[in-house]
Amino acid sequence: MRLRFAPSPTGHLHVGNARTALFNWLMARQSGGTLLLRIEDTDAERSTPESERAIQEDLRWMGLSWDEGVEVGGTHGPYRQSERLEIYRAHAAQLLESRHAYRCFCAASTLEADRKAALAAGRPPKYAGRCRDIAPEAAARRVEAGEPAVIRLRVPVGREVTFVDLVRGPVTFHTEVIGDPVLVRSDGSPAYNFAVVVDDGLMGITAVVRGEDHISNTPRQILLYEAFGWTPPRFAHLSLVMGPDHTPLSKRHGVTSVAEFKAKGYLPEALVNYLALIGWSPGGDDELLPLEALAARFDIAAVSHSAGVFDEDKLAWVNRHYLKAAAPARLVDLSLPFLEAAGYVPEPPGAEARAWLEMAVPQAAASVDRLAQVPERLRLVFDFDAARTCADAVLAQELAEPAARAVTMALAEALADAPRLSDREQFRAIAARVKERSGQKGRALFHPIRVALTGAAEGPELDLLVPAIDRAAELPEGSGLARVMGCRERATELARLLGQSASTGHPGPRAQS
């Protein structure tokens, strides 16, 4: 089996097209077939090399390799349509010679008038066939004289064109509604339906998996296959990916491209797994499966023809699963761009900083939807200001309570002669000393400790966060990690400011306006 994915390099890889690429890949791998990557870049105004490179990068990021095509090579190239123009010209000439195609000289204004008349009469608009009977010799003389012309397919009259869609079953079109499609434009450039048939036919494509928006193109393409004497491939038309409002997924729904989901910190295996679940189920008890396992179970006949809705909440759920399963070193590598942007890793981390990151990042990643949220989970490690804590109206009021003040002072005293709290046992031992000295327990004990050490009323579990703070504080200058104030220094500074406010009767330092 030979399949192809043939994107146009006119922008980023949309998740709908990425799903099409994925289903082609799954079908090729499940059948032991070949997947070909072809670039349909005949739209010279919109196609760019940068977009082509980005599409290839996105496919590789998703883990979707191809066996033949651009950058890989093969025996059926070239694999860019812009490099195949002579091939299209030769095949257009072949169709003209066999009378399966003809030259059309109708002006755009004439075609528009015919279209409006058909609509007014309640008929589907199609070419009226004005030029079908012009003798080839006469048409050739007019072209030689400089008269612009397109080349149209001569669609048989009074026929039904039927194909069995691998997703939808039998589909039939009558040639009454097809008209004679343009194969080659007046400037010599090939139209989509012509180029794709020539490419698929010459490249030996045996199955075409694409979006349902191409269903109406299929009868025209089948007639072209017949005109060339070629066997058409089998077709499978996938339902479109919809937004939450059940309209085709687009920019108005937010993030829609693979590159954007990557930039938000989704793992490739999560996006791929989720895309596979839109309109298809692998069966069994577990739908969270790696690519190879998805391929082993894939069956194009089991794909639903109902529209699938892209639900980012479910994607986040899938991503959380893969974040928890990912190796610490990989999580660090993938999180570094976000940590660098936050200023937490201003330089390439050395061995000690790297060890700290491989401890802290997995802890943070275990409670986020995507890696872009990791810096916020680590913010309490890097961003502490005792004066800001005292200037916060809610926190200042809480710390002013006698019980909270007693806990804060006892914490500062307990930490003054204690080693760094490098693990949860050391933190729990300090908490026990503070409990004994202050007489507080439960929330009355741990809430003031949290505020004193993090400057926040809520956050990650203290017995995980506190060791992360103190281990980071021990890292030497130039480790690659931003400097972190240790727990001892935090508690001491906050106790000092609370002591000042108690002696002056002032509620605490005010934030500067």
Rounded to whole angstroms, the maximal C-alpha distance in the chain is 107
- Domain borders along the chain are 84-238, 251-323, 327-513
User: What number is the average pLDDT over the span 119-135?
Assistant: 93
Please write the tens of the pLDDT for every residue from 68-84.
Answer: 999 999 999 999 999 99
Q: Name the band, by pLDDT with cuts 50, 70 and 90, for residue 512.
A: very low
Q: Distance between CA atoms of 374 and 340, rounded to whole angstroms?
A: 11
Average pLDDT rounded to a whole number, residues 106-110: 95
pLDDT at position 297: 97
pLDDT at residue 124, rounded to an integer: 85
**Residue type (1 letter), 153:** L
Average pLDDT, the chain: 95
- For the stretch 317-321, contacts whose Cβ atoms lie closer than 8 Å and that sit 24 or more positions apart, written own/partner, are 318/270, 318/273, 318/274, 318/277, 318/288, 319/266, 319/267, 319/270, 319/271, 319/369, 319/370, 320/368, 320/369, 321/270, 321/288
Cα–Cα distance measured from residue 125 to residue 117, given in angstroms and rounded to the nearest whole number: 8
Contacts of 324 (CB under 8 A, 6+ apart): 365, 366
Nearest CA among 9, 7, 18, 28 for reference residue 259: 18
Residue range 89-101: mean pLDDT, rounded: 98
In the beta sheet, which residues pair with residue 104? 150
What is the tens place of the pLDDT at every residue in 279-326? 999 998 899 999 999 999 999 999 999 999 999 999 999 999 999 999
Per-residue pLDDT of 216-226, as tens digits, reads 999 999 999 99
Q: Supply the pTM of this predicted model.
A: 0.91
Cα-based angle 309, 326, 17 (whole degrees, multiple of 5): 30
Using the predicted structure, report yes or no on whether residue 162 has a pLDDT greater than 80.
Answer: yes
Residue 78: helix, strand or coil by DSSP? coil
pLDDT tens profile 368-426: 999 999 999 999 999 999 999 999 999 999 999 999 999 999 999 999 999 999 999 99
pLDDT score at 503 = 58
* Angle between the N-to-C axes of helices 85-97 and 218-228, in degrees from 0 to 180, rounded to the nearest 10: 70
Q: For the chain, how big is the Rg over CA atoms in Å?
A: 33
Average pLDDT, stretch 191-209? 98
pLDDT band at 504 (very low <50, low <70, confident <90, very high): low
Per-residue pLDDT reduced to its tens digit, 224-251: 999 999 999 999 999 999 998 888 888 7
pLDDT at 345 > cutoff 70: yes
pLDDT tens per residue, range 452-477: 999 999 999 999 999 999 999 999 99
What is the C-alpha to C-alpha distance for residues 328 and 388, in angstroms, rounded to an integer? 33
Contact at 8 Å (CB) between 340 and 346?
A: yes
Class of domain 251-323: mainly alpha
Give me the active site residues, please: 251
Tokens of 87: 């091939």
Cβ pair 488, 452 in contact under 8 A: no
Domain 84-238 has CATH 3.40.50.12160: no
Distance CA 410, CA 403 (A): 11
CA 484 to CA 380: how far, in whole Å? Answer: 10
Summarize the confidence of residues 334-361 as an average pLDDT: 98
The predicted structure's pLDDT at residue 102: 98
For a pLDDT cut of 90, what percent of the chain falls above it? 91
Left, alpha or beta for 478 (phi > 0: left; psi -120 to 50: alpha)?
Answer: left
> If you average pLDDT over residues 474-499, what whole number do you get?
96
Is pLDDT of 508 > 50?
no
Band (510; pLDDT cuts 50, 70, 90): very low
How deeply is 323 buried, as exposed, middle or buried, from its count of CB atoms within 10 A (0-12, 13-18, 19+)?
buried
Residues 277 and 315: beta-carbon distance below 8 Å: no
CB distance 338 to 344 below 8 Å: no
